[in-house]
Copies of this chain bind each other. A is one copy, B any other.
Amino acid sequence: VPGVSKAAEAGRTILEAARRSRAWDRLADLCDRVGPRLAGSRGYAAAVEWAIAEMTADGLSNVRREPVRVVPWERGAESLIVVEPNGPRPIPVTALGRSVATPAEGITARMVVVPDFAALEKLGEGARGKIVVFNFTMRLAADGGGGYGEAVRYRAGGAIAAAKHGAVAALVRSVTTQRGRSVHTGSMSYEDGVPKIPAAAITIEDSEMLARLQEKSVPVTLFLRLGGRMLPEVLEANVIGELRGRESPDEIVVVGGHLDSWDLACGAHDDGAGVVLSLEAVRLIKQIGLVPRRTIRVVLYANEECGLDGGTAYAESQRATIERHVAALESDSGGFRPTGFGFQGAPAAADRLEALLAAFDGLGPLTLRRGWSGPDIGPLAKLGVPGVGLRNDGTRYFDFHHSPMDTPDKVDRRELDDAVAAYAWMAWLLAEMPEPLARAVPAP
């Protein structure tokens, strides 16, 4: 395969430089100085300022913000209390993103626990007037995949299913396998024609406690008060900066992650890691003088978590110049040890990437998973831009994901440096390869 030996050589050079990366320190800086940064919040505004300052200090060209329309969701006061037996006993709760509020006086109702959607169906009228608790047990699945995909259906669609059965609210066991008595939030949705009922996450521990009480036929009454709400539309921003290509500066490789985070922590893995990987990749490539053929454009996206608005807005804004986008790279799977890449696009392009990955063994085998890239570059991939997503060891990703635990101490400095190396190498490859990757036919 042409270019393979040059690619492997660049990989070794980048890996050596990445051993002295500033990725972890920059991640801690974002987390400590800025903190949580949900779109629409003061935190997100501070993150935009932070990113502009960092890109400027790194010497990127054309540093700018591009407007993104966002309808933000804001968390309110929230409270869940076991009224009986032996109440009032407060237990941890957190509203899911986009949930409506309860009435100001809260909801007091009997609960019913179900292990899955099928059990809810079997209940028939048994959920009417009740608070439904979805106690679905997530499987621990390495590399993200299966365990999360199965379990997140209850977070995303639990309120719809419960409302169809006449429930007054939905509580969802947090989508995690980590027993930290911690709530894990995330976005949810409603369906036209189905009543909008409030939805919140509870801890594994409390979900199991409620299930045990039901098992023993102990009547359980809960009090739930949630105050979240949608705010009026505001203009947020994607933050963009460039490393100009040496030969074909009009051809663009987009490299990025999302700048927003959930509000319960500072989003170290999700997606502070993607932000600093993108910044560090470009800084290292520049520093070691590997300035590639094409322009690498860093795009830090707004509001991935509760609307995917930044990725959508970027793709929309580039419709006229979409043919000049030769590839898009994203990191949104945490700051763990890199395991490879995902690819969304033409099979011939995937074959070519796979051959290049096989040539470089400095980080252990890096494999290609077809059919997946990343959330923010999904809209670009739909327009035919080859989409590449960094994959990381996901075994422990959902321990921290969307929870108060997603702090920088959970990111290992050395693993993050390895991720910088894999990511910077891929960014360089995509921007340097003499012939760009074959494009897929755009989705209709």
Contacts and interface: CB of A to CB of B under 8 A. Distances in A.
Interface of A: 28-29, 31-36, 42-43, 46, 82, 85-86, 89, 92, 179-182, 204-205, 208-209, 212-213, 216, 218, 265, 403-405, 407, 409-410
A405 B33 contact: no
Given A33-B218, A35-B86, A204-B409, 13 more contacts: A31-B209, A32-B213, A33-B85, A34-B86, A36-B89, A42-B86, A43-B86, A179-B407, A179-B409, A180-B180, A181-B407, A182-B182, A205-B409
B181 A265 contact: yes
Contacts of A218: 32-33
Contacts of A33: 85-86, 213, 218
B35 A409 contact: no
A42 B81 CA distance: 15
A201 B265 CA distance: 18
Nearest to A47: B86
Most chain B C-beta atoms within 10 Å of own C-beta, residue among A28, A181, A403, A405: A181
A265 B181 CA distance: 9
B179 A182 contact: no
Nearest to A218: B33
Contacts of A31: 209
B409 A208 contact: yes
28 contacts: A28-B212, A31-B209, A32-B209, A32-B212, A32-B213, A32-B218, A33-B85, A33-B86, A34-B86, A35-B82, A35-B86, A35-B89, A36-B89, A43-B89, A179-B407, A179-B409, A180-B180, A180-B181, A180-B182, A180-B405, A181-B182, A181-B265, A181-B405, A181-B407, A204-B409, A205-B405, A205-B407, A209-B407
A261 to B, nearest CB: 12
Contacts of A46: 86
A409 B204 CA distance: 10
A409 B179 CA distance: 8
Contacts of A213: 32-33
A227 to B, nearest CB: 15
Contacts of A35: 82, 86, 89
Nearest to A86: B46
A31 B409 CA distance: 32
Closest 5 A-B residue pairs measured CB to CB? A180-B180, A181-B404, A205-B407, A181-B405, A46-B86
Nearest to A213: B32
Given A180-B181, A209-B32, A92 B410 contact: no
A36 B31 CA distance: 34
A85 B86 CA distance: 42
Contacts of A32: 209, 212-213, 216, 218
Contacts of A212: 28, 32
A25 B205 CA distance: 15
Contact of A410 (B36, B43, B179, B409): B179
Contacts of A86: 33-35, 42-43, 46
Contacts of A403: 181
A212 B32 CA distance: 8
Contacts of A407: 179, 181, 205, 209
A263 to B, nearest CB: 10
A117 B92 CA distance: 34
Of A29, A85, A92, A205, most B-chain CB atoms within 10 Å: A205
Nearest to A206: B407
Nearest to A33: B85
A43 B87 CA distance: 8
A403 B213 CA distance: 22
Nearest to A89: B35
Contacts of A34: 86
A317 B92 CA distance: 41
A179 B405 CA distance: 8
Contacts of A92: 404
Contacts of A42: 86
A210 to B, nearest CB: 9
